[in-house]
Chains A and B, each alone.
Chain A
Amino acid sequence: MASHTTTHTEAPLDMSTWRKVPTKLVIAGIVLTVLGAGASLMIKPEHAEHAIPVLKQFGFSYLTAYVFCLSFMLGGLFLTLLHHLFDASWSVPTRRITEALASLAGPMAIAFLPIMGLALFAEESNPYKWMTHAGHENHAVHAKGALMTKAGFVVVSLFCLGVWWLLANRLRYWSVKQDENGSAECTKKMRAWSCGGIWLFAITLTIAIIMWVKALHVEFFSTMFGVQYFAGTAWVTIGTTYLIALILKRQGPLQGFAREKTFYFLGSLLFAFTVFWAYITFSQYFIIWNANIPEETFFFLWREQGSWFGLGVLLIFGHFFIPFLALLRIDLKLKVWWMAPIIAWAWVMHYLDVTYNVMPVLRPFGFMPQLMDLGILLLLVGLYVIYFVKSLNAHPVMPQKDPRIAEALDMYVPPASSKLAGAKH
């Protein structure tokens, strides 16, 4: 309790020096991307035979960075849906944070355009081989023919992006409306959207990741693929929410609202999803290993080549064992100096997890990070943060008239009926 009370007297955290960081990220991202593109264009013609076309490299770098950024939007949407579905009171103080993360659905739809463009119009540089090759050379591809067409790609992509935008937009709309009128109607509306939304969320996340990432290996089968991405997504977003809530608490807006239990519960969820990710990722590997069918095992055989093997081992330890052991203790889940590095580590691990799924298609012989990978990552993250901060600032950070505020603060408010009875006396 002592440490808890001292934080109240601390001076508000000054973030003004950080204000320009997102813009700097964007600039650095553009510079690195141009440098990366220039470097690969300058490869001498005699080596050009083995070189990867700039546009192809761009496609894969962009896809990796995009899928990484998408995680925070989907994770934010998921946590918002979950808050309403469970009618939770503890997550009231973090609701606006996850709503603001989810509100990136619109910009993320626009950011998808380069991938869509490459998929539909590029020939040699197309990340999706099945777009340019007739898909009848093997049965596995042929069986997926109905979905794996250009029209199928466009329809699925637009449907997923549209559903996310709709859900994020509606949840945001009713949430902000409640700030004005405080009506319980708004909560009920959000709950109704969440009930349908969670199904749509699960379906769209799965088919989107199948279409955009798994289809890089169009012959591959895995029922775990969507869930595996989801597990990492929720994991990294819970950590990020923890950090944002912590900053907002220190800065002032969530002072007194985000409390010990808020951070303890977020820390516990982070721990739970560390285990969930490991469970799903291991299961995917184990089922394929056990069945031992060539149509599936090639996915991991590719990823045992060269330094990809090392990256796989790094993920086992870095994505699971280290955070697992680090988050075991109850008291450490509340320590900033302990949690902040873990969350930063989680960003790196999630990016590497996405890389592990995407990049071996481009460079089967080893993990070779490119300037362009980093450049596009910084560019998208920078733009993402700028939009997120704008979206978060547009409305009060604490939901103003949420019916569960008192509960979230562990305060007892007598029911309305007894208040009326009291007023009569």
Chain B
Amino acid sequence: MSASKPYGLLAEFDKPADVMHAAEEVRDAGYKVWDVHTPYPIHGMDEAMGLKNSKVGWFSFIGGVTGYTSGMLLIWWTNAVDYKILIGGKPMFSPFGAFPPSYELTILFGAFGALLGMLFLNRLPRLNHPLLKHDRFKLVTHDKYFIVIETADPKYSPKETRELLEKLGSKRIELVEE
């Protein structure tokens, strides 16, 4: 086993308020590639981390538009062009009759868009993550709060980043390897 590449600095906190204030400071220090891990969702953490609104909505929107369009086209092509079916003297194709199935497809494709978009943006599924090797990190599902600043961050420096996290009140800072 050769020496592994460092993944990032993991800082442990005892209280939600501590990790929240620390997150605000890390945000203000200008870090970009970092994350906060907590046992439960903490209200206001999005703002403390400076996170913007999720982009998943765009995937649902595009999925929905695709669903609606393909539903309309499918019904128009099959009923009015390829194999004409006359029902009750109504037009071969009418947007009213075609609306309910197209609407269902809008919802279905919208949901697909949301799910796949979420997986894509989260880079899921993946089989392993460097943090999972770390023993202390298991406490993230119990009563500890973590901030991890990755080495991939342009502002990352082994010394200064560690000093920042120490200053923010973390009792335990460790280097996680990939």
Residues of A within 8 A of B (CB): 1, 282, 285-286, 289-290, 292, 328-331, 410
A292 touches B88 (CB 8 A): yes
Tell me which residues across on chain A come within 8 A of B97, comparing CB atoms.
289-290
CB < 8 Å neighbour of B99 from A1, A282, A331, A410 = A282
Q: Within the assembled complex, what's the spacing in Å between the Cα atoms of A286 and B90?
A: 13
9 contacts between A and B (CB under 8 A): A285-B96, A289-B94, A289-B96, A290-B96, A292-B88, A292-B90, A329-B57, A330-B57, A331-B53
Chain B residue with the shortest CB-CB distance to A291: B88
B99 touches A330 (CB 8 A): no
Residues of B within 8 A of A (CB): 43, 47, 53, 57, 61, 88-90, 94, 96-97, 99-100
B99 touches A286 (CB 8 A): yes
**A293 to nearest B CB, angstroms?**
11
7 nearest A-B pairs in the assembled complex, by CB-CB distance: A289-B96, A1-B47, A330-B53, A286-B96, A292-B88, A331-B53, A286-B99
Q: Within the assembled complex, what's the spacing in Å between the Cα atoms of A331 and B57?
A: 12
Chain B residue with the shortest CB-CB distance to A4: B47
Tell me which residues across on chain B come within 8 A of A289, comparing CB atoms.
94, 96-97
Tell me which residues across on chain B come within 8 A of A290, comparing CB atoms.
96-97
Chain A residue with the shortest CB-CB distance to B61: A328
**B164 to nearest A CB, angstroms?**
22
Tell me which residues across on chain A come within 8 A of B43, comparing CB atoms.
410
Tell me which residues across on chain B come within 8 A of A410, comparing CB atoms.
43
**B65 to nearest A CB, angstroms?**
12
**A291 to nearest B CB, angstroms?**
9
Tell me which residues across on chain A come within 8 A of B57, comparing CB atoms.
328-330
Chain B residue with the shortest CB-CB distance to A283: B100
Q: Within the assembled complex, what's the spacing in Å between the Cα atoms of A290 and B90?
A: 9
A286 touches B88 (CB 8 A): no
Chain B residue with the shortest CB-CB distance to A1: B47
Q: Within the assembled complex, what's the spacing in Å between the Cα atoms of A46 and B9?
A: 93
Q: Within the assembled complex, what's the spacing in Å between the Cα atoms of A286 and B101?
A: 13
**B71 to nearest A CB, angstroms?**
15
The CB with the most chain A CB atoms within 10 A, among B57, B89, B96, is that of B96
CB < 8 Å neighbour of B100 from A286, A328, A329 = A286
Q: Within the assembled complex, what's the spacing in Å between the Cα atoms of A410 and B61?
A: 32
**A290 to nearest B CB, angstroms?**
7
Chain B residue with the shortest CB-CB distance to A288: B96
**A418 to nearest B CB, angstroms?**
21
Chain A residue with the shortest CB-CB distance to B47: A1
Chain B residue with the shortest CB-CB distance to A282: B99
Q: Within the assembled complex, what's the spacing in Å between the Cα atoms of A290 and B97?
A: 7
Chain B residue with the shortest CB-CB distance to A290: B97
The CB with the most chain B CB atoms within 10 A, among A286, A289, A290, is that of A290
Known A-B contacts: A286-B96, A286-B100, A328-B57. Give 18 more (CB < 8 A): A1-B47, A282-B99, A285-B96, A286-B99, A289-B94, A289-B96, A289-B97, A290-B96, A290-B97, A292-B88, A292-B89, A292-B90, A328-B61, A329-B57, A330-B53, A330-B57, A331-B53, A410-B43
Chain B residue with the shortest CB-CB distance to A292: B88
**A375 to nearest B CB, angstroms?**
37
Tell me which residues across on chain B come within 8 A of A282, comparing CB atoms.
99
Q: Within the assembled complex, what's the spacing in Å between the Cα atoms of A282 and B94?
A: 14
**B44 to nearest A CB, angstroms?**
9
Tell me which residues across on chain A come within 8 A of B88, comparing CB atoms.
292
Q: Within the assembled complex, what's the spacing in Å between the Cα atoms of A285 and B100?
A: 12
Chain B residue with the shortest CB-CB distance to A2: B47
Q: Within the assembled complex, what's the spacing in Å between the Cα atoms of A331 and B96?
A: 33
**A409 to nearest B CB, angstroms?**
13
